[in-house]
């Protein structure tokens, strides 16, 4: 197998951990696998270097300073491999075989990076390249970075361009867990998780794999997360399934919008629970939920509008915090996910501007970490879909 093994800062946080990393690489090489290593800066080195730049420094100088974290760790890992009799070389920006290059806008130059990565692949049967994660080389040869957590991006991108069988992300948790094991008790490994599920989590704190890295995952490339204590690079951990998708979807059937208003909603606990629970007990699925200052809006299939209205009206009668319920229909919902949605400032403005120009009323705009849902009148659905498709 051809494997890209990425060691995060935590898995290289001390000499002992580096030795452990080298042991696992040595074992994989001894079993006949081609291994390329991507290394992050040891422990919290990157944070420490950034904190220490307390003076005025240009972006170029900052990148040079910060790059020393990864430049040091590749030397450490290379040395530990050499000491075990494994043929290894470290690769950093400035080297002739350095693969990751960016264009004048700081974006990865895909064709140049692919070409250089292919050259690196031809050496994998003889040596283990230990590549600095997180770093890139600009068109002028100067070092730049791929952004915080960028080593995951280096690893998945190189895995894809190397036609690797697998990218293994080695970190300080057993994989993607049911919750942050450093914060909750009894967290368990989820075993498997889809790219989209993980992107939603990783944009909001679970940085097991940086979200930008997952954009490079294709169907043919397996990505797995393992604990550095596991010792075996080739088994265990959490498998990340599927591929990164750009999706624009218009719900085929109309929705009804039920709005419950009440001034005390935001001060009382359990209001949302009792409204959603009452619909749930009746087998009515809530497609989207939105909340205002003094209201909660729940979208359900239009065919369920009458039943849902009666159920919520019963809640209005029973709960003093809610004053009244009303229904609006038929409505359409367009969902979009993927692309640069979560990272591009101003993207919402770009999405809604054409609606304003066309005088199409947006009933609701609901966003998550990785998606946007736009609710419009059912009669506006086709034009709205065209507007969104024109954008992406
Ligand atoms: N649901 C979750 N599953 C696993 N880890 C999680 C989760 N939520 C948050 N985390 C945190 O993500 C961290 C791993 O990311 P990071 O510190 O960036 O690792 P590395 O330095 O190896 O890249 C874990 O130490 C853990 O505290
Ligand atoms: N060292 C860089 C890149 C990185 O990906 O680190 P880690 O793999 O430890 O999250 C950073 O801290 O941003």
- Over residues 59-82, the pLDDT tens digits come to 999 999 999 999 999 999 999 999
Q: Are 66 and 40 in contact (CB under 8 A)?
A: no
State the chain's mean pLDDT as an integer.
94
What CATH fold (topology level) applies to the domain 2-241?
Carbamate kinase (3.40.1160)
* Average pLDDT of the residues in 82-100: 97
Query: Does the structural domain 248-391 have CATH classification 3.30.2130.10?
Result: yes
What gap in Å lies between CA 270 and CA 71, rounded to an integer?
52
* Average pLDDT of the residues in 217-245: 93
Does ligand 2 lie within 6 Å of residue 8's CB atom?
Answer: yes
What gap in Å lies between CA 279 and CA 262, rounded to an integer?
18
The 8-class DSSP code of residue 252 comes to S
Provide the CB-side half-sphere exposure for 204 (13 A, CA): 12
Ligand 2 atom closest to the Cα of residue 153 is: 5
What gap in Å lies between CA 105 and CA 208, rounded to an integer?
28
Instruction: Give the pLDDT band (50/70/90) at residue 389.
Output: very high
CA–CA–CA angle 79, 123, 14 (5° rounding): 25
Does ligand 2 lie within 6 Å of residue 69's CB atom?
Answer: yes
Gap from CA of 180 to ligand 1 centroid (Å)? 7
User: In which residue are the tokens 């009440």 written?
Assistant: 262
Compute, in degrees rounded to 10, the torsion defined by CA atoms 189, 193, 197, 200: 50
Residues of the chain with CATH 3.30.2130.10: 248-391
How many contiguous H segments (helices) and E segments (strands) does the chain have?
11, 17
**What's the pLDDT score for residue 391?**
85
**What's the pLDDT score for residue 215?**
87
Gap from CA of 134 to ligand 2 centroid (Å)? 7
3-state secondary structure of 117: helix
Do strands 143-145 and 135-137 pair parallel, antiparallel, or not at all (unpaired)? antiparallel
Ligand 1 atom closest to the Cα of residue 174 is: 4
Mutate to test the pocket of ligand 2, among 38, 46, 51 (most ligand atoms within 8 A of CB): 46
Do strands 238-241 and 192-194 pair parallel, antiparallel, or not at all (unpaired)? parallel
**What's the pLDDT score for residue 339?**
67
Gap from CA of 48 to ligand 2 centroid (Å)? 12
Residues 317-365: tens digit of each pLDDT? 999 889 999 999 999 999 998 766 777 788 899 999 999 999 999 999 9
CB atoms within 10 A of CB 267: 8
* Average pLDDT of the residues in 374-385: 97
Cis ω for the linkage preceding 330 (within 30 of 0):
yes
Does ligand 2 lie within 6 Å of residue 211's CB atom?
Answer: no
pLDDT cut 90: percent of the chain above it: 84
Does ligand 2 lie within 6 Å of residue 46's CB atom?
Answer: yes
* Average pLDDT of the residues in 207-233: 92
Residues of the chain with CATH 3.40.1160.10: 2-241
Instruction: Give the pLDDT band (50/70/90) at residue 206.
Output: confident
> CB neighbours of 16 closer than 8 A, spacing ≥ 6?
none
């Amino acid at each position: 197998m051809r494997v890209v093994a990425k060691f995060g800062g935590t898995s290289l946080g001390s000499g002992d951990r580096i030795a452990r990393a080298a042991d696992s690489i040595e074992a994989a090489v001894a079993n006949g696998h081609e291994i390329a290593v991507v290394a992050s800066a040891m422990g919290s080195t990157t944070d420490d270097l950034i904190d220490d730049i307390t003076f005025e420094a240009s972006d170029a100088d900052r990148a040079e300073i910060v790059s020393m974290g990864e430049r040091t760790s590749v030397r450490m890992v290379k040395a530990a491999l050499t000491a075990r009799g494994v043929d290894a070389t470290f690769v950093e920006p400035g080297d002739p075989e350095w693969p990751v290059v960016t264009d004048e806008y700081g974006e990865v130059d895909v064709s140049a990076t692919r070409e250089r990565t292919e050259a690196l692949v031809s050496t994998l049967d003889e040596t283990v390249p230990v590549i600095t994660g997180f770093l890139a080389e600009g068109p002028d040869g100067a070092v730049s970075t791929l952004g915080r957590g960028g080593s995951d991006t280096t690893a998945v991108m190189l895995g894809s361009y190397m036609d690797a069988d697998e990218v293994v992300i080695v970190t300080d948790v057993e994989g993607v867990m049911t919750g942050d094991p450093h914060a909750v008790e009894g967290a368990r490994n989820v075993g498997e998780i889809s790219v989209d599920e993980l992107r939603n989590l990783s944009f909001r704190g679970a940085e097991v794999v940086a979200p930008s890295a997952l954009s490079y995952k294709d169907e043919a490339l397996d990505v797995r997360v393992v604990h550095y204590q596991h010792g075996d690079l080739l088994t265990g951990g959490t498998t990340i399934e599927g591929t990164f998708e750009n999706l624009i979807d218009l719900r085929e059937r109309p929705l009804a919008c039920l709005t419950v208003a009440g001034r005390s909603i935001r001060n009382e606990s359990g209001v949302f629970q009792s409204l959603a629970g009452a619909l749930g007990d009746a087998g009515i699925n809530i497609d989207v939920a939105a909340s205002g200052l003094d209201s909660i809006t729940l979208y359900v299939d239009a065919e369920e509008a009458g039943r849902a209205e009666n159920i919520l009206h019963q809640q209005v009668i029973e709960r003093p915090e809610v004053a009244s319920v009303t229904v609006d229909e038929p409505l359409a919902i367009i969902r979009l996910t993927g692309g640069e949605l979560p990272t591009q400032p101003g993207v919402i403005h770009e999405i809604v501007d054409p609606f304003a120009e066309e005088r199409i009323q947006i009933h609701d705009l609901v966003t998550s970490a990785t998606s946007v849902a736009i609710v419009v009148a059912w009669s506006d659905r086709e034009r709205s879909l065209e507007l969104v498709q024109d954008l992406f």
